[in-house]
Amino acid sequence: MMGAIGKVKGYDRAIALIEKNPSIHLLIAGPLWDSAEQNTLDYLIEKEKKFPNLKLEVKVLNEKDFETYSKKADIILILHYMVTASGVFSQTVGSMKPVITWNIPFFKEYEERYGACITVNSIEELEKKILEIYKSKKIREKLKKGAKKLLDDCSWNNTAKKHWNLYKSLN
């Protein structure tokens, strides 16, 4: 998991997953969202002490960090309670790694329209989907294809074409 550390980011869901299955290796990396989130950070620090497969990196992430962490990941989790105006989803999809998100409308749309992620509704379903993705090259390739479709649709070239066609239609 990458991005600012705050309660709405669903880190408690990731902790529930590792409590259920301590063999899962989990990296949580990002800066503290703001000082009001100190309790969330303290909670994660305590959990890191308890679970040897949990690593916490509290720092502002630059492009190299995202690239490094994405390359090391088998699957990237985005377990938000609500969508925030961050670029974490775009950056993780851009890594071409499988992405599992919590089932909120923003992510559900990208799952349905592009197949760029898999949404889940529970910790049990999250654990099941992680195992399915890990075991199935076919699922991983399908998610990669969906990510590429999303990135192509949102590319600057495609955006320019849409604007040019709109401009031409005004004449």
Gap between the Cα atoms of 26 and 116, Å rounded = 21
Which residues sit opposite 27 in a β-bridge? 55
Q: Please tell me the pTM assigned to this model.
A: 0.89
Which residues sit opposite 26 in a β-bridge? 54
CB atoms within 10 A of CB 42: 10
DSSP label at residue 165: H
User: Which residue segments constitute the domains of the chain, with CATH numbers given?
Assistant: 7-169 (3.40.50.2000)
Higher pLDDT residue, 84 or 82? Answer: 82
**pLDDT, tens digit (0-9, with 9 covering 90-100), for 99-133:** 999 999 999 999 999 999 999 999 999 999 999 99
